[in-house]
Amino acid sequence: QSALTQPPSVSGSPGQSVTISCTGTSSDVGGYNRVSWYQQSPGTAPKVIIYEVTSRPSGVPDRFSGSRSGNTASLTFSGLQAEDEADYYCSSFSSSGSYVFGTGTKVTVL
Amino acid sequence: QVQLRQSGPGLVRPSQTLSLTCAISGDSVSTNSATWNWIRQSPSRGFEWLGRTYFRSKWYNEFAVSVKSRITVNPDTSKNQFSLQLNSVTPEDAAVYYCARNNNWSFDVWGQGTLVTVSS
């Protein structure tokens, strides 16, 4: 099972809009509405911020949004904030019945 | 509020068995609406889903192909917890191991993580 492909890093200034991509295949990202996104700060467990491609858990700011086009899912920050600096990972259910994760993206707020 | 609390040794000898437990509070291991998972994270392999246990009229266990021959995941309804056993470990199994609840196709509750070192 190959990992989903994410850019290693993205950066932006406070208030800027930033998007992270997550590319898989029709057997995972493109085949199911079961893509989720996680925020992880150093030394802590991941926290889900998007589930089922576009849904946000309660308590997650609405500046985070998810979308998908074909085999690529995206996480968008609409107005980057200093506290958004962290590592972000996508994940998808796959046709094998397992879950596959992305390679991770480090977000830096300039 | 659902919480998962992991326990188990952080050092395992090569060829021995890695054993971790995940105690659940605020939910039931026997729930029909979630699955209970083990995931690991290492610098070399990133995040890797290992397996899950869940109850849907009967118990099911499903595992990643990469570890299927070496892994056991068991629910313990009397203690409301579930466990991971990974046999015949090698240095490649060194990682931070997490237990996690899967709900709505996402991992919405995570344990605190256990750093496992494989060394003699």
For the segment B74-105, what is each residue's pLDDT rounded down to a tens digit?
999 999 999 999 999 999 999 999 999 999 99
Q: What share of chain B is helix, strand, coil (3-state, %, to 5)?
A: 0, 60, 40
- Pairing between β-strand B114-118 and β-strand B95-103 as defined by DSSP bridges: antiparallel
CA–CA dist A81, A10 (Å, integer): 13
Judged by CB atoms closer than 8 Å, whether chains meet at A46 and B113 is answered as no
Residues of chain A contacting B48 with CB distance shorter than 8 Å: 101
Residue among B109, B49, B20 at smallest CA distance from A92: B49
Q: Which residue of B has its CA nearest to A32?
A: B105
Task: Check pLDDT > 90 for residue A1.
Answer: no
Give the residue ranges of DSSP H helices in B1-120: none
Judged by CB atoms closer than 8 Å, whether chains meet at A48 and B65 is answered as no
Q: Provide the pLDDT for residue B54.
A: 98
Q: What is the pLDDT of residues B2-33, one digit of tens each?
A: 999 999 999 999 999 999 999 999 999 999 99
Output DSSP code: residue A5.
Answer: B
CA–CA dist A45, B21 (Å, integer): 16
Residue among B26, B81, B27 at smallest CA distance from B53: B81
